[in-house]
A and B are shown apart, each in its own frame.
Chain A
Amino acid sequence: MATTDGGGVLRVLVAKVGLDGHDRGLRIVARILRDAGCEVIYAGLRQSTETITAMAMQEDVDIVGVSMHNGAHLTLAPAVVGALRLAGLDTPVLVGGIVPPADIPVLLAAGVAAVLGPGSSNDEVVATVRAAASRPRADRAGMRQAAD
């Protein structure tokens, strides 16, 4: 079972943010994480920064995964991180989808914990989620300051 440091089952919120409807990757990632023992909250299509933040709070998730294939990641991914931090949540945000290599450092600098591109293996997906979730709290607080 994938667990947090506290020993509970890892809770992951996965969502499409913005208008893009390419959900093949998101659905596959949801099943991979579920098969790895995570509790997956599948928010599905057309979520906004507000709905993602509200769900992250209500569902008390350990990780937020957002999927984008429409070239809007530089606007939308930092907006998701910003909205979570503004709400006082230090939940790590993972981005999956089509992201040009040059944009990856930009997203990381904006507080995204990791980017999973096309061809990521099932093991990589699970390992990346676990690594992001198991980052010490102090480190996440540092991330939060960087995002502010």
Chain B
Amino acid sequence: MPGQFPYTRGPYASMYRSRLWTMRQFAGFGTAEDTNGRFKELLRSGSDGLSTAFDMPTLLGRDSDDPLAKGEVGRAGVAIDTMADMATLFSGIDLAAVSTSMTINSPAAPIMAMYVGVADGMGVERSALSGTIQNDILKEYQAQKEFVFPPRPSVRLVTDVMRFATSELPRWHPVSISGYHIREAGSTAAQELAFTLANGFAYVEAACAAGLAVDQFAPRLSFFFNAHMDFFEEIAKYRAARRIWARWMRDHYGATDGRSLQLRFHSQTAGVSLTAQQPEVNLVRVAIEAMAAVLGGTQSLHTDSFDEALALPTEHAARLALRTQQVIAEETGVVHVADPLGGSWFLEELTDEMERQAEVIFAHLAEAGSGSMLEGTISGIEDGWFVSEIADAAYHFQSKVAQGEWIQVGVNGYVEGDDVAPSTLSVDPAVESQQLTTLAAVKQRRDDDAVRRCLTRITAEAADSSINLMPALIEAATHLVTVGESMRALESVFGLWYEGNVV
């Protein structure tokens, strides 16, 4: 039954009858001021959650004035260099009333520190802050590739944020364990399921090793899955994920709180399924993928815009994407029943099959880690196993497209017809120079001695893994130390990670 162990049919008994999924659309571009304007507009139009996309330099822990940032400032998200930018980003927004999601991983700890610093400055109680920080570093080495430090010190940063949130931010989700990027990089559905849950087990083991009790933090863990085109396979994947998580948390990690056993997830339609050819057809794909996520019991959903294989989405395209969710919620009636496809022979068999395939992968990782999923996962990162498994699956799929075994409408089949290019969004190139001016002004007005003291403290505390780095990072944020400066201080102790170039 839905709401009962092992939660295959859903974490809650009533599901969407009592609470609809959250329609959480990801946004961010240009300067903090630009995105603040977009946030306020979203809140005015009835949105109760914000989701922040950071630009590439911020995601890699590089300041806007770093030579490596050239050309990328404010392009694919908002540029955040210091807590002053973070204050501008959330200016005029009540952080006790809205929930905020921040999609960032390598610099998650310094960014979280800035968010807490801004809330402190606004007089908002830390215990009132609600939201999510992605903070899932393991899938960065496996798929998204936004890593900075080697895996072990990076996992320590993840657990520092978890420890901090457990004691100070009871309404915060300190990790969002994400399969989305694994699937986008080319994995199969079963690999997405297994790698993601294995990463989840790894964080559970790491947090327990850092001194937390499983039922202290597990209720705040959340997941993020892809919603791809193979309709029943996707629904089976979500059902299998809930069942596996519940069983493993109870049987392997000794969780007893029901909330520790319930897997809750955000989902996003598959960017990689969108085509640059006949882009309007993507509206149809997104609708089908979104329906799979809803029938699979998602807690929140982002629908992609139809123009994303061409550029960042326009406002028109983003609105149609949101409307797609609203049509499913309001017009189709699927919200009245929890797990409406449960009991179908085909779906139940597929769910079992997904679980079987995942267990084979867990067995491989457990063996590689001598029984530890954390060690097995790190070993699979260090020897390139995840990357090559995903690359093999991606190439296998591409070969099927090349040989016409897989038809993608508009790409290798049904190619005739209108192929009108829609108008696309362009980011004003002046954003980079504006952000450089802002950063220079902040560096001018801050207390340089305090900055040096903060960086010395970060370096010293980074060297002692028993210390939680969050207090030092919060102090640094309030003294306007940049993301890049904090990250370079950590780098001086942790070193950098490079991927082996195996194709």
Contact = CB atoms under 8 A, between A and B. Distances in A.
Interface of A: 18-24, 27-28, 30-32, 34, 40, 42-46, 48, 70-72, 74-76, 79, 98, 100-102, 117-119, 121-123
Among A118, A121, A123, the one with the most B-chain Cβ atoms within 10 Å of its Cβ is A118
Contact of B424 (A34, A74, A102): A102
B277 A122 contact: no
B111 to A, nearest CB: 16
Given A71-B75, A119-B275, A24 B186 contact: yes
Chain A interface SS verdict (over half): mixed
A52 B399 CA distance: 29
A44 B501 contact: yes
Nearest to A41: B501
B469 to A, nearest CB: 24
Given A24-B272, A98-B311, A121 B59 contact: no
B412 A19 contact: no
Contacts of A74: 71
A44 B499 contact: yes
Contacts of A28: 186, 394-395, 398
A28 B274 CA distance: 17
Contact of B146 (A21, A42, A71, A119): A21
A40 B71 contact: no
B401 to A, nearest CB: 8
Nearest first, the 5 closest Cβ-Cβ pairs linking A and B are A75-B71, A21-B145, A71-B75, A19-B56, A100-B311
Interface in B109-145: 140, 144-145
A24 B277 contact: no
Contacts of A34: 503
Interface string B411-434: 110000000010010110000000
Contact of A119 (B60, B312, B408): B408
Given A40-B503, A48-B68, 9 more contacts: A18-B71, A19-B56, A19-B57, A27-B503, A28-B398, A70-B72, A75-B71, A100-B424, A122-B399
A21 B56 CA distance: 9
Contacts of B144: 21
23 contacts: A19-B57, A21-B144, A23-B185, A24-B185, A24-B394, A28-B186, A28-B394, A42-B501, A46-B68, A72-B71, A74-B71, A75-B70, A75-B71, A76-B71, A98-B309, A98-B311, A100-B424, A100-B426, A102-B424, A118-B275, A118-B309, A119-B277, A122-B398
Nearest to B140: A21
A22 B402 CA distance: 21
A118 B276 contact: yes
B310 A79 contact: no
B503 A42 contact: yes
A71 to B, nearest CB: 4
A121 B412 contact: yes
Contact of A18 (B56, B395, B424): B56
Interface in B452-467: none
Contacts of B501: 42-44
A43 B499 CA distance: 10
Contacts of B59: 19
B394 A19 contact: no
Chain B interface SS verdict (over half): loop
A98 B444 CA distance: 38
A24 B184 contact: yes
Nearest to B68: A19
Nearest to A123: B402
A19 B60 contact: yes
Contact of A19 (B69, B312, B499): B69
Interface in B364-418: 391, 394-395, 398-399, 401-402, 408, 410-412
Contacts of A102: 421, 424
Contacts of B71: 18, 72, 74-76, 79
Nearest to B277: A119
Interface string B242-278: 0000000000000000000000000000001011110
Given A19-B72, A70-B72, A27 B499 contact: no
B394 A27 contact: yes
A71 B312 contact: yes
Contacts of B310: 98, 100-101
Given A20-B56, A118-B276, A70 B146 contact: no
Contacts of B272: 24
B62 interface: yes
B163 to A, nearest CB: 28
A101 B279 CA distance: 12
Nearest to A40: B503
B276 A70 contact: no
A46 B499 CA distance: 10
Contact of B427 (A71, A79, A117): A71
B311 A31 contact: no
A118 B272 CA distance: 9
A147 to B, nearest CB: 18
Interface string B304-315: 000001111000
Contacts of A27: 391, 394-395, 503
A70 B497 CA distance: 22
A46 B106 CA distance: 15
A123 B274 CA distance: 21
